[in-house]
Amino acid sequence: MRSERAPLWLKVLAGGGLLFLHGPILIVFLYAFSTESKSFVWPPPGLTLHWFARAWARPDIWEALGLSLRVALMATAVALVLGTLCAAAVARTRFFGREAVSLLVVLPIALPGIITGIALRSAFSLGDIPYSFWTIVLGHATFCIVVVYNNAVARFRRVSGNLIEASMDLGATYWQTLRFVILPNIATALLAGGMLAFALSFDEVIVTTFTAGQQATLPIWMLEELVRPRERPVTNVVALVVVLVTLLPILGAYRLTRGTDTVAGSGK
């Protein structure tokens, strides 16, 4: 007979593990409402919404948020195009060097972020390229390609090649086939991949410190606050906002691909 009940100790360990994963994030949320402004004292002596107003009135936060959003959007757009092209090639055909191509796509996140970061920085300095919005996008798009690629390649494998052949046999051009047959079939996978790429870029800090120069994205703003704190409670509020902004696209991607054999977000 199959025992469907988990032993108690396993339940405790698994539940404790989940608690360990979520507790700290919830604690940050609570700190955002704390009246204490000088130390990290626990429990919070009182609760207030004051720091949200303070954060709202800070132009440097808005600027950083704006830059982060623009970078994330642009990096996602580039990653969507490049990741999908690559997935289409790898999923549909066998060719010499196919393994090498998939390795190349994964490499930017398989190697530590600091390698990508310092590599880009040395390339910029050797090529005398000044830091700008585009140097940040360049780095972000490079490691975002893989999340789009992973989602798209899984979907491409499930779209039957017969559909495409049938479409072409019936006289459609490649463009028409793409527009009316391929895209509708892979749309949700692309949307999910794009959302994950957006979240990845929006939150990235390690590569960004090397490619941003004097510009501050929101994670860089936070990092500076962590190293040299100016107004701690405002940092708590920003932390709360950052978590929420990243979680929405993740939940969206999960809903879009739920129930398929490859659920988005199982790798980063």
Partner 1 sequence: MTAVAEGAPVREAGGGLSDTLWRRPRLLLLLLLAPPLLWLGIIYLGSLFALLAQSFFSIDEFSGVIDRTPTLKTYGELLRPANLDIIWRTLAMSAAVTVASVGVAFPIAYYAARYARGRWKALFYLGVMLPLWSSYLVKVYAWKLILAKEGILGWAFEGVGLGWLLDAFLSVPGIGGNSLSVSPTGTFIVFVYVWLPYMILPIQAALERVPGSLVEASGDLGASPAQTFRHVLWPLALPGVVAGSIFTFSLTLGDYIIPQIVGTSARFIGLAVYQYQGTAGNVPLAAAFAVVPIVVMGIYLWIAKRMGAFDAL
Query: In the set 81, 163, 183, 187, which binds partner 1 (CB under 8 A)?
Result: 81
Report if residue 163 touches partner 1, rule: CB under 8 A.
no
CB of 160 to partner 1, least distance (A): 17
Instruction: Give the residue from 121, 112, 107, 78 showing the smallest Cα distance to 208.
Output: 121
By CB under 8 A, is residue 180 in contact with partner 1? no
**Which of 128, 170, 214, 228 is close enough to bind partner 1 by CB under 8 A?**
170
Q: Write down the least CB distance from residue 39 to partner 1, Å.
A: 5
Report the run of H or E that residue 102 belongs to, with start and end.
helix 98-110
- Give the integer Cα–Cα distance in Å for 29 and 33: 7
User: Which residues face 47 on adjacent strands?
Assistant: 34
Rg of the Cα atoms in the chain: 22
Among residues 69, 73, 77, 82, which is the contact residue for partner 1, using CB under 8 A?
A: 82
Q: Which is nearer to partner 1, 59 or 96 (CB)?
A: 96
Smallest gap from Cβ 190 to partner 1, in A, equals 15
Instruction: Catalogue the long-range contacts made by 216-219 (C-beta closer than 8 Å, 24 or more residues apart).
Output: 216/60, 216/63, 216/64, 216/67, 217/64, 217/67, 217/68, 217/71, 217/136, 218/61, 218/64, 218/65, 218/67, 218/68, 218/242, 219/68
Q: Out of 47, 53, 57, 111, which residue is the one contacting partner 1 (CB under 8 A)?
A: 111
- Establish if 138 lies at the interface with partner 1 (CB under 8 A): yes
The two tokens of residue 189 are 């996978």
Say how far apart CA 213 and CA 188 lie, in whole Å.
36
Q: Judged by CB under 8 A, which stretch of 5-13, 51-59, 61-69, 152-160 contacts partner 1?
A: 5-13
Contact 148, 190 (CB under 8 A): yes
73 lies in the binding site for partner 1 (CB under 8 A): no
Q: Does 261 bind partner 1 (CB under 8 A)?
A: no
Nearest-angstrom CA–CA distance, 233 and 54: 9
For the segment 15-44, give every residue that binds partner 1 (CB under 8 A).
Answer: 17-18, 20-22, 24-25, 27-28, 31, 39-43
Query: Binding string, 229-248, against partner 1, x = CB under 8 A?
Result: ------x---x--xx--xx-
Residue from 199, 181, 107, 189 nearest 154 by CA: 189
Using the rule CB under 8 A, is 189 a contact of partner 1? no
**Using CB under 8 A, which of 73, 159, 168, 181 touches partner 1?**
168
